[in-house]
Amino acid sequence: MTDSPVLPAVNREWHLVTRPVGWPKPEDFALVEAEVPTPRDGQVLVRNLYVSVDPYMRGRMSAAKSYAAPYELGKVMQGGAVGEVVASNAEGFTVGDHVLHFFGWREYAALDAGNAVKVDPDAAPLSTYLGVLGMTGLTAYAGLLRTASFKEGDSVFVSGAAGAVGSQVGQIAKLKGASRVIGSAGSDEKVKLLLDEYGFDAAFNYKNGPVSEQLRAAAPDGVDVYFDNVGGDHLEAAIGSLNLGGRIAICGAISVYNNTEPAPGPKNLARLIQTRGRIEGFLVGDHYDLQPQFVEEVGPWVRSGELKYRETVVEGIENNLEAFLGVLRGDNTGKMIVKL
């Protein structure tokens, strides 16, 4: 094992203790003190510096079968994290390396070297590897360009447009020649951000009136692509405004994640016959073959400032849960990050 600094005796980590029904409650979770783990052969010990909280984690708190295994009760949860290697029993990793991995919701993580990806803190701020240059960025890129088959001249509507994924979808569409980009968000402040900083052509606060009416006003000529982060009335509105040959990429449906009963589907699905429209769901995990292309194209946009991003940073592992609940409430602008 390579030399390592003196480590604390306690490692704080978040456990799921009860599966939430409806909105998660603080009593469904526990911040537990455990020993700092010792890396076995082929492992590294990482001190997490930034951890990610994301809407999909709500699904993993349920026992229902889904695309990701449920969190186990009484055990530490998982999520994206970036940290510094503080001890190594693995070839190719030394103390001081910075890595991206999937063992968040804790201060220290021992993990197999194969589950760690080195990242360069000099090329970009470490937190960006959880957002604009990480999973959320690739989600935007793959969903827009591959799933929704975006092409130059398309009119694009994005829901949850001030979030980590949605804000990148809109900007990538603009950079690639969209004729019009429309976004919805949950506050007037976020609408202003979409227009003034992210360069959207139109935006509206979905709380200010029926989404279908506001979308028709913002996109009088209809939309060719809808990138769905919300579901519910947004999806129905998008189907109503879809142009001939329109495409809808289903990334998420945060509006129904905490429902205890199934949400009704859109009432106007038959319109897809008229428009020859297509709806397709996707998972970023199916598109990691695009990662090199994504970094090659988007990295320079980030460095030049052509593609802008925001982060909402919460300090301290003790506030990890509150940060997650904030994502479900829509408190964040851009990527929600917890700094440890």
**Number of Cβ atoms within 10 Å of the Cβ of 70:** 15
Cβ-contact 85, 109 below 8 angstroms: no
Residue 338's nearest CA partner among 300, 311, 302 is 311
Alpha-carbon distances, residue 126 vs 99, 199, 304, 324, 340 (angstroms): 9, 25, 17, 20, 12
Q: What is the pLDDT along the chain (340 residues), one digit of tens a residue?
A: 555 567 888 999 999 999 999 999 999 999 999 999 999 999 999 999 999 999 889 989 998 877 778 999 999 999 999 999 999 999 999 999 999 999 999 999 999 999 998 988 988 889 999 989 988 999 999 999 999 999 999 999 999 999 889 999 999 999 999 999 999 999 999 999 999 999 999 999 999 999 999 999 999 999 999 999 999 999 999 999 999 999 999 998 766 666 656 667 799 999 999 999 999 999 998 998 998 899 889 989 998 999 999 899 999 999 999 999 999 998 888 899 999 9
The closest of 123, 138, 143 to 80, measured between CA atoms, is: 138
- Whole-model pTM? 0.81
